[in-house]
Amino acid sequence: MRAQALRALLVVAGVLFGLYGYHLLRHDVHSSVPNAAASIVVAWTFLFAGVVAWARRPHSRVGILMTFVAYCLLERKLQYSHDDAVFTFGFLFAELGLTVAFAHAVLAYPEGRLRTRFERWFIGASYVVVIAFSFVLLTVWDDPPRKSLFAIHPSRDAYDAIHAVYRVGVYGVLGLLFIALIVRRVRGATAAGRRVLIPLMVAAVFAATRAVSEAVLSFMHRSGTTSDALYWWQIFGQIAVPIALLVGLLRAELARGTVADLVVELSHVAAGEVRDALARALHDDSLQVAYWLPMRRLYVDESGRPVELPDDGRGVTKLADIAAILHDPELDPQLVATAGAAARLALHNARLQADVSAQLAKVQESRRRIVTAGDEQRRRIERDLHDGAQQRLVALALELRIAQRQFGEESPELDLVLANAVGQLQVAVEELRELARGVHPAVLTEEGLAGALVSLASRTPVPLRIDASDDRFPGEIEAAAYFVACEAIANAVKHAHATQIRVSAQRRNATLVIEVEDDGIGGAGENGSGSGLRGLVDRVEAHGGTLRIESEPGTGTRVIGELPCAS
């Protein structure tokens, strides 16, 4: 409300100020009616455009800057006053509105902030240079009847010389720099940014080339016609700029209108389509959504993978506690926030989904690690049994056998005892060997799945046909496939009374498919025989695979395990 009152006051004051300026132009320097009126209309155009922009886009300071330009242009008229103090004040700041304040407003468009350090330096230095020149000119002012309060050494020649330097320096050099900065802005802008920037930039270049030509022409004699043409060029350039600003503003208003239309769609959009819907609403194909997970204090994408918010100039609009929208930096953050608010429910759901995905990925990863660690443990136990206990027992048995040979002939009793001991040890070694094989068959590590299946077949009392690829797969995948085959074969023999078993292990694309088929009674799972297999589901799924059991009573059993093995 206070801002509104301030704007109203500024409008009223500006209008009155303009009328006073018109009076000064007509009566004190005898300007023609069209010239005086045009000069005031330029200031008023800036004023009205600035105030409207300020009201419509309070977050952008461009409106304020435009209003500032308007007041500089009005203040300029004070230099035509015959009052010395008013004249001096008017002259000191007269050039701002046509030069640096104007450039400031254009370069700050659309957010109202200068973007680069160089732009800030350029504008800051220009303010100083322009005011400094005016001050120096006032010290040599010698053009009665007006008198400069700062006059030290009145000299018309000095004034002309300094003024020429000013025209070349400020209008020429700073004007060219200004054009270069604008060209760079437009070239570096994104597609959406150009749509917003171009009308204004065209108008600004139009005005700036006028300033540069002013500098160039100061070296030549110019006719009255040239001066006249330059004057109207300047007037139209200056009016075009605030109008271009209004056009840019209206475009943003239009985009806001389509967002309003899309509120209904956005509020009903499915979680999976929320990004596309937002991209469509905001006309930004590069739009991305990062979801905030407060428990883990990080942003993730749709599938739960952590993402870093960019700091490379991409626009980031944060929607409190839910998500951040990464978008074209030229998009108005207000607009993005509005669209985000419309899609709040869908974003909320998408975030929950992303959160669940992230947790699922973590759980899957840890499950895989647990199974792999278990496998590694089993392999180590198997090796320890081989290299430790088994080795010692065989060596010990051999020693006893040698003793038996040496002393057994002398004592039949000793011979019997030692033979018995060796026999016991042989049984123990055989048992240990079976135990180690059950823990983790060495043949699996050494020969791979095909070799391990052949070995398994030789210890299976039912005829077993093996159709296995000789390829090697990652160790944990081979182990999972092997244990699936073991369990399925054990079930076929023990519970299903099979007379034929077929095992196949083949690579299909990036998947190892292990299949065990028997001709038994079927119905696995109903009589409790499938429980061991269901335990293996965990192992298979831990590696991202699937395990299927087809077992209708009377039709035999088919166990199919699929294990991803991208290698």
Partner 1 sequence: MRVVIADDSVLMREGVARVLGDAGMEIVASVGDADGLRRVVATEKPDVAIVDVRMPPTQTDEGARAAETIRERHPDVGILMLSQIVEAHTALRLFGERPEGFGYLLKDRVLEIEDFVEAVRRVARGGTAMDPQIVSQLVGNRRQDDPVDELSPREREVLGLMAEGRSNAGICSKLFLSPKTVETHVSSIFNKLRLAQAPDDHRRVLAVLAYLRAAQ
Query: Which of 309, 402, 416, 510 touches partner 1 (CB under 8 A)?
Result: 402
Neighbours of 97 (CB within 10 A): 22
Closest approach, Cβ 397 to partner 1, in A, equals 5
* Nearest approach, Cβ of residue 433 and partner 1 (Å): 6
Contact present, 505 and 477 (Cβ < 8 Å): no
3-state DSSP assignment of residue 438: helix
If one asks whether residue 486 binds partner 1 (CB under 8 A), the answer comes out as no
Q: Which of 235, 429, 512, 524 binds partner 1 (CB under 8 A)?
A: 429
Q: How far is CA 475 from the centre of its chain?
A: 38
Between 226 and 377, whose beta carbon lies closer to partner 1? 377
Check residue 415 for interaction with partner 1 (CB under 8 A): no
Q: Which of 253, 285, 399, 526 binds partner 1 (CB under 8 A)?
A: 399
Residue 318 lies near partner 1 (rule: CB under 8 A) = no
- The residue within the footprint of partner 1, chosen from 209, 213, 349, 455 (CB under 8 A), is 455
Q: What letter does residue 507 receive in the DSSP assignment?
A: E
Q: How many CB atoms lie within 10 A of CB 165?
A: 13
Which of these segments, 103-111, 150-158, 238-246, 456-464, binds partner 1 (CB under 8 A)? 456-464
Does position 489 interact with partner 1 (CB under 8 A)? The reply is no
Query: Which positions ≥6 away from 111 have C-beta within 8 Å?
Result: 59, 60, 61, 62
- Give the x/- contact pattern for partner 1 in 354-393, rule: CB under 8 A: -----------------------------x--xx--xxx-
Beta carbons within 10 angstroms of residue 442's beta carbon: 18
| Residue 458 Cβ vs partner 1, minimum distance, rounded to whole Å | 4
Instruction: Decide: 100 and 122 in contact? Cβ < 8 Å.
Output: no
Cα–Cα–Cα angle for 318, 323, 327, rounded to 5 degrees: 60
Q: How far apart are CA 100 and CA 131, in angstroms?
A: 10
Q: How far is the CB of 481 from partner 1 (least distance, A)?
A: 16
426 binds partner 1 (CB under 8 A): yes
- Residues binding partner 1: what is the number (CB under 8 A)? 38
The arrangement of strands across the sheet holding 323-327 comes to 306-307, 298-300, 288-293, 323-327, 315-319
- Does position 398 interact with partner 1 (CB under 8 A)? The reply is yes
**Minimum distance from residue 311 beta carbon to partner 1 (Å):** 49
Q: Is residue 485 part of the contact set for partner 1 (CB under 8 A)?
A: no
How many Å apart are CA 294 and CA 163, to the nearest integer?
63
Residues 208, 160: contact at Cβ < 8 Å?
A: no
Closer residue to partner 1 (CB): 348 or 386: 386
- Does the protein bind partner 1 through residue 401 (CB under 8 A)? yes
**442 touches partner 1 by CB under 8 A:** yes
| Residue 387: CB minimum distance to partner 1, A | 6
Query: Minimum distance between the CB of residue 452 and partner 1, rounded to whole angstroms?
Result: 8
Torsion of CA 496, 497, 503, 508, to 10 degrees: -20
Region of 18-26, 59-67, 408-416, 428-436 interacting with partner 1 (CB under 8 A):
428-436
- Number of Cα atoms under 13 Å in the Cβ half of residue 205: 14
Separation between Cα atoms, residue 316 and residue 388, nearest integer Å: 63
Q: H or E stretch including 504?
A: strand 501-508
- Considering only CA atoms, which of 241, 229, 227, 202 is closest in space to residue 70? 241
Q: Which is nearer to partner 1, 337 or 428 (CB)?
A: 428
Where does this chain bind partner 1 (CB under 8 A)? 383, 386-387, 390-392, 394-399, 401-402, 405, 422, 426, 429-430, 433, 436-437, 442-443, 445-447, 450-451, 454-455, 457-458, 460, 463-465, 500
